[in-house]
Amino acid sequence: MAQNNRAEIGGFNYSRTGSMGRHGLPKIQTQHEKSSAEVCHDDSTTPVKAKTIDELHSLQKKKSQPTTPITGSQGAFTPTMSEEDRHRQQLQSISASLASLTRETGPKVVKGDPKSDGQKATHVEHHLYDASLFGVSDSALKFTHILYNLSPAELYEQAIKYEKGSFITASGALATLSGAKTGRSPRDKRVVKDEETENELWWGKGSPNIEMDEHTFLVNRERAVDYLNSLDKVFVNDQFLNWDPEHRIKVRIVSARAYHSLFMHNMCIRPTPEELEDFSTPDFTIYNAGQFPCNRFTHHMTSSTSVDLNLARREMVILGTQYAGEMKKGLFSVMHYLMPKRQILSLHSGCNMGKGGDVALFFGLSGTGKTTLSTDHNRYLIGDDEHCWSNNGVSNIEGGCYAKCIDLSKDKEPDIWNAIKFGTVLENVVFDEYNREVDYSEKSVTENTRAAYPIEYIPNAKIPCVGPHPKNVILLACDAFGVLPPVSKLSLAQTMYHFISGYTALVAGTEDGIKEPQATFSACFGAAFIMMHPTRYAAMLAEKMQKHGATGWLVNTGWSAGRYGTGNRIKLAYTRKIIDAIHSGDLLNATYSKTEVFGLEIPTEIEGVPSEILDPINTWSDKKAYKDTLLHLGGLFKKNFEVFMNHKIGKDNKLTGEILAAGPNF
């Protein structure tokens, strides 16, 4: 070492007495060079061969497609088809989707952003007949630019450049506004009533399905398609619903906003590049022209907003609302129709799985703790909202989560908090103008602030989002009347009764003092989205529970020792102990007693839970007040169930009688 006056520094041989390079610097020789003559000079390299800035930018980009991590590709890859032919076939399919009914042809579509002048355009003219026979309008002379399955980064750029109200927050999420509508518009939702749906769907009192005729749907479809075709560019997402590959549904979403495209990129299942190769024609298509209103003088319209489903055409049209949740819940309604026809039960529920493979379903309306209780660091999350139960087990319908953000905190909901990062869409939140920190307690725009993110943003998410048959079906109710037990074991008939009822209680405003809690009932814990009669879903649930040995549970996360205002909310720590005892199977071996009126089986002892609270009558000092309140709630259940009594199901209609007998008895 000393003889050659050399030193080894950081894996390189550095010569103190060797030849000098440019600028008087010594030459550096690596240990991996073949000879001492082969040296690296400073940072010299071959110049970039680009004549224009567009050519230079093109060197930055490597072609790819966004994917959802999944083991095993289900798509068919066709290596013999050239990329140009594949693009042409893809654009022809999109052009056919955007075909006008009156002209029976799609637009001349071009793949790429019209602002990218340096990008080579691929286009296709899709005509079903000789266009020269008809008058040519100005719209026929223009190209519609298709932005197809863009990545989150590309959609960020589009939103920030062209959509007012879109900003990057401090956490990296994209904050945006949904316009005047910050929630769903259920009164403006319509379903085409035809020969098939007339007998299959639930119509009339209590039903969420408001009818419209085929002609009116086509009028609205034409309005939406014409609007989309008039734009310089539209966003197209080709994605999947249902993680069970045997029952997967292909959906296409055509929209005018990058925000909507990113939202659906997160909420649906993202295909692999190989799966996109064989995507072909979708099973269902959404035309989201939400910026453009419907014609209020069109038949069946009640406002400038219209959300229309045509199950025969497998299409959905959105006019007059930019709230992204309409797309998510619209597709959920479609699954509530398509899946039962395949003898698959569609469910508005959360779902998780223990390390031993035991699966639990969680049903509950807003404020019952469904999200909190189904999110368990000791269990794998299959999904937070929408599921299917088939002969293969359970599967998540979606590829993402749509979480409420109001009053979100890192301490209470760390998984959701940490999921709000780059790629996540934040709807209608308020943030600091300077540092872009979101104030989740702020309700200036709406109380219905939301975050949409891919499910793999949750650390303990199970990918793919499928699991074996459930062992426990947990129905959650926040009983503000304070008379339901913290936990009850249900018979099959009781499970069906409480599943159809879908009960919880909302606390009334206290501006002029404490008022009566308001009982809320939502059939199947999701009445706004079901398509068929609730008893059909309930019968399927009971059949699957019986076949696979699942147990039903009613868990009250509301009040004890009195109603709201006099009693106390059941501690979350106690509810978690109850849920843990359900998961472990300990409650199956407990000793039970039966309550009056509702006839519920309640355990006499649960580890970690005070025994006196398990039977609510023990916690009330005024026993008469307890009995009166219990009878009052039972009466509300009976009144709600009147709308279901005339719908007969089961062999010889016996199942209807069994369900009715499982309700309050007094």
pLDDT in tens, 89-117: 888 899 999 998 887 788 888 888 887 65
Q: pLDDT grade, residue 45 (50/70/90)?
A: low
Mean pLDDT for 212-231 is 95
pLDDT in tens, 562-591: 999 899 999 999 999 999 999 999 999 999
Q: pLDDT grade, residue 51 (50/70/90)?
A: confident
Q: Which of 371, 372, 390, 520 is the catalytic position?
A: 371
Question: Could you confirm whether 142 is annotated as catalytic?
Answer: no
* Two tokens, residue 573: 């720590």
Q: Which of 387, 450, 462, 544 is the catalytic position?
A: 450
* Two tokens, residue 658: 């069994």
The pLDDT of residue 258 is above 90: yes
- pLDDT given for residue 553 in this prediction: 98
Q: Which residues contact 433 (CB under 8 A, 6 or more apart)?
A: none
Question: Could you confirm whether 385 is annotated as catalytic?
Answer: yes
More confident residue, 70 or 557: 557
- pLDDT given for residue 63 in this prediction: 58
pLDDT in tens, 181-206: 999 999 999 999 999 999 999 999 88
More confident residue, 425 or 113: 425
Mean pLDDT for 8-32 is 45
Question: Could you confirm whether 329 is annotated as catalytic?
Answer: yes
The pLDDT of residue 653 is above 50: yes
DSSP of 38-62: --B-TT--PPP--SSHHHHHHTT--
Neighbour tally for 141: CB within 10 Å: 8
- pLDDT given for residue 277 in this prediction: 85
- pLDDT given for residue 589 in this prediction: 93
pLDDT in tens, 301-339: 889 999 999 999 999 999 999 999 999 999 999 999 999
Question: Could you confirm whether 577 is annotated as catalytic?
Answer: no
The pLDDT > 90 percentage for the chain reads: 69
Mean pLDDT for 255-263 is 98
- pLDDT given for residue 651 in this prediction: 59
The pLDDT of residue 21 is above 70: no
pLDDT in tens, 502-516: 999 987 543 344 467
Q: Which of 270, 370, 469, 583 is the catalytic position?
A: 370
Confirm if 353 and 583 have CB atoms less than 8 A apart. no
* Two tokens, residue 548: 């696979």
Q: Which residues contact 462 (CB under 8 A, 6 or more apart)?
A: 353, 380, 381, 382
Cα–Cα distance measured from residue 470 to residue 50, given in angstroms and rounded to the nearest whole number: 59
The pLDDT of residue 421 is above 50: yes
State pTM to two decimals. 0.85
Q: Which of 30, 58, 78, 366 is the catalytic position?
A: 366
Long-range CB contacts (< 8 A, 24+ apart) of 59-65? 64/151, 64/273, 65/149, 65/271, 65/272, 65/273, 65/276
Alpha helices in 486-622 (DSSP H): 492-501, 534-548, 572-584
Cα–Cα distance measured from residue 108 to residue 580, given in angstroms and rounded to the nearest whole number: 58
- pLDDT given for residue 74 in this prediction: 40
The pLDDT of residue 129 is above 50: no
- pLDDT given for residue 526 in this prediction: 95
pLDDT in tens, 467-502: 999 999 999 999 999 999 999 999 999 999 999 999
| Highest averaged pLDDT of the listed ranges 41-50, 278-287, 296-305, 650-659 | 278-287
- pLDDT given for residue 350 in this prediction: 96
Confirm if 626 and 619 have CB atoms less than 8 A apart. no
Confirm if 660 and 641 have CB atoms less than 8 A apart. yes
Q: Which of 189, 348, 498, 533 is the catalytic position?
A: 348
**Is residue 255 classed as helix, strand or coil in its secondary structure?**
strand
Confirm if 236 and 264 have CB atoms less than 8 A apart. no
Side chain identity at 196, as an amino acid letter? Answer: E
Q: Which of 189, 260, 329, 379 is the catalytic position?
A: 329
- pLDDT given for residue 418 in this prediction: 96
Which value, in Å, is the radius of gyration of the alpha carbons in the chain?
Answer: 30
Mean pLDDT for 604-623 is 96
Side chain identity at 394, as an amino acid letter? Answer: V
More confident residue, 407 or 6: 407
Q: pLDDT grade, residue 78 (50/70/90)?
A: very low
- From residue 449, alpha-carbon distances to 55, 323, 560 in Å are 42, 11, 30
Q: Which of 184, 250, 270, 583 is the catalytic position?
A: 184
Mean pLDDT for 62-71 is 65
